[in-house]
Structure 1
Amino acid sequence: MPEPVKVAVLPKTTEPLTAVIKDAGAVITDLSKAQALIWTESSPAGFPSSLPEGIRWVQLKSAGVQQWITAGTVDERRQWTSAVGAYSLDVAEHAVGQLIACLRQFPLFARQTTWTKQENWKRVASLRGRRIAIVGAGSIGRACIPLLTAFGAEVVAVNRSGRDVEGAIRTLTSENLDEALGLADDAIIAGASTEQTRHLIGAGQLAQLGPDGFLVNIARGDLVDTDALVAALQSGGLGGAALDVTEPEPLPDNHPLWVLPNVLITPHVANPLRNMEPHFAAHAGENLRRFAAGEPLEAQIDLKRKY
């Protein structure tokens, strides 16, 4: 019978995580004796400055790993996995909810203090029949597609490879981003934050959506040029925006995005706190099972692609 995998869990474990480790037949041990490390905070703060040679795999809690790569934490001496895929359904639900809220003019109506039906009713739109560009058709972007199509929308997917994405009427590469946005009514930004994707959405891309289009960002704030976004929203060049992430983040109290009537802001809460621990535990547990069986791990971090 093979020896159980020895796992260090830092800074501390949770009940769901302890349970899946036990179910996988592994044991929790000190870092110095471990073969694997599961890190249970979302940032590199407090992460060990060096890891024992025996650590062959590190599981991170965060889906976005740009800060980990920038900090030089991720190395090539062992396998590193992110939480990509663990939170996809919850975040996709939030993104589609935000888009519906924009189309139905919830941000505008929520700010009213008097009955404004006649002058604002004409702005209300339906998701049915619209075409949505999913910019970054990874796990979250793909999870958005069945939710959107269930409401009668069509999807144009954008990814690095251009390989067809299930459920999309068309898939384009990121090099053809402007074309994809030109084909769409609205866009959901769901891509990874890298040096190459910084300000991927600028004035030109927002202009492709136009005055009747809406932008939803549930990825990372730096994918969107905030100054260009504010200008488009103020001028009427873009119909509206829903942002769960911003640049800068947290968004300063006096920032113009707070007071624009066509903007909906949620403070980076697309992943419900009550679901985070069990979903991360399930993801880590599946990777632990794969690690023990010598199978490829899910959500492996690629240092060359930087995600």
Structure 2
Amino acid sequence: MKVHIGPIAPPDLTAAVVAAGAEIGPAAEASALVWYGSGPERFAELDHPGLEWVQLPSAGIETWMTSGALRDGITFTSAVGTYAETVAEHTLGLMLAGARQLHAVARADQWARPAGIRSLIGATVGIIGAGGIGRALMELLRPFGVRVLAVNRSGKPVDGAAWTCPADDASGVRRLLAESDFVVVAAPATAETAKLIDADALSRMKSDAWLVNVARGSLVDTDALVAALDAESIGGAALDVTDPEPLPAGHPLFQHPRALISPHSANPKSLLIPALARRVEDNVRRRLAGEPLLGVIDLTAGY
């Protein structure tokens, strides 16, 4: 099997393909493409009739879904689950920073203890989108003795969660929002999840609860979130993703006393490429052995 890597070919990805037993070749001769270095707008440059499989570099594929590049006749795989531990680690950091008001003390210019400091120990954590990231986060939260409420697509019980409900169970989602001290958003970005956390959802959260979004900015209604923070109707928000993204300079969330913003850095490039290389090697080996690929994209579901 010949594999092409492009439009950019980092050495780690090249080494992963070779280690898996495949041959690196020009795009026109390759049956498999490891995509890296651009968005879907350049896909047509490397697409050709003999292309059978494309490995995408990200877990979120909303831009690919709307681009029309995901054509029939090709198996597309995402990197879903590849970065779960890295993103979960960042999520835990955001939760602890919010609980301990570290964002407030970091901005302070005088010695003063902020109000609202709390503990993560024994808290109730609601995870909307309890997939790879959610499960990895649960492992990190285990020493804190938290109670986890989980929402996933199927409603199949998540090991370690106190209860699990399907995403289309509105009453279950409302229960999660009402009972959680921390609401973690880790669901995929689809038409169904757009502005999932809106004014109504925010109004159902505890007055001291924190919203943590490590999924995509589109899942949260930014204007409604700013209004809730201004009204002090929730404890705070810790966001690694925003809508719009990047967040414009001077946006009220940057300096809001109840907000903590990181610039979509839960999975930095220094960690992304090695993790992606491991997924590429695994999937190339699977392809060569005729085994099921990891992260096959369901075009109907949108992820």
TM, length-normalised to structure 1: 0.95
Paired with 2:43 and 2:263, the residues of 1 have a C-alpha distance of 25
Alignment of 1:212-227 (within 5 A): 212-227=208-223
Paired with 1:294 and 1:180, the residues of 2 have a C-alpha distance of 41
Paired with 1:266 and 1:230, the residues of 2 have a C-alpha distance of 16
Alignment of 1:40-51 (within 5 A): 40-41=36-37, 43-49=39-45, 51=47
1:240 aligned partner: 236
Aligned to 2:204, what secondary structure does the other structure show?
helix
Number of positions where the alignment pairs a residue of Structure 1 with one of Structure 2: 300
2:6 aligned partner: 10
Q: Which amino acid is the alignment partner of residue 165 of structure 2?
A: L
Alignment of 1:264-303 (within 5 A): 264-303=260-299
Stretches (4+) displaced over 6 A: none
Q: Tell whether the 8 Å contact from 1:131 to 1:153 is kept in structure 2 after alignment.
A: yes
Quote how far apart the aligned CAs of 1:23 are: 1.2
Quote how far apart the aligned CAs of 1:43 are: 2.0
Unpaired runs of 5+ residues, structure 2, are: none
CA displacement 1:97-143 (0-9 Å, x = unmatched): 101100000111111111112xx2x5211100101001011111111
Q: Which amino acid is the alignment partner of residue 40 of structure 2?
A: P
Quote how far apart the aligned CAs of 1:42 are: 5.4
Aligned to 2:275, what secondary structure does the other structure show?
helix
Q: Tell whether the 8 Å contact from 1:64 to 1:193 is kept in structure 2 after alignment.
A: yes
Percent identical residues: 45
1:130 aligned partner: 123
CA displacement 1:141-190 (0-9 Å, x = unmatched): 11111111222212111011100111111101112311221221111100
Quote how far apart the aligned CAs of 1:50 are: 6.6
| Residue 154 of structure 1 pairs with residue 147 of structure 2 | yes
Paired with 1:208 and 1:131, the residues of 2 have a C-alpha distance of 15
Q: Which amino acid is the alignment partner of residue 141 of structure 2?
A: L
> 97-106 vs 168-177, which deviates more?
168-177
2:197 aligned partner: 201
Paired with 2:116 and 2:264, the residues of 1 have a C-alpha distance of 27
Q: Which amino acid is the alignment partner of residue 77 of structure 1?
A: G
Aligned to 2:133, what secondary structure does the other structure show?
helix
Unpaired runs of 5+ residues, structure 1, are: none
Paired with 1:113 and 1:218, the residues of 2 have a C-alpha distance of 29
TM, length-normalised to structure 2: 0.96
Paired with 1:170 and 1:41, the residues of 2 have a C-alpha distance of 40
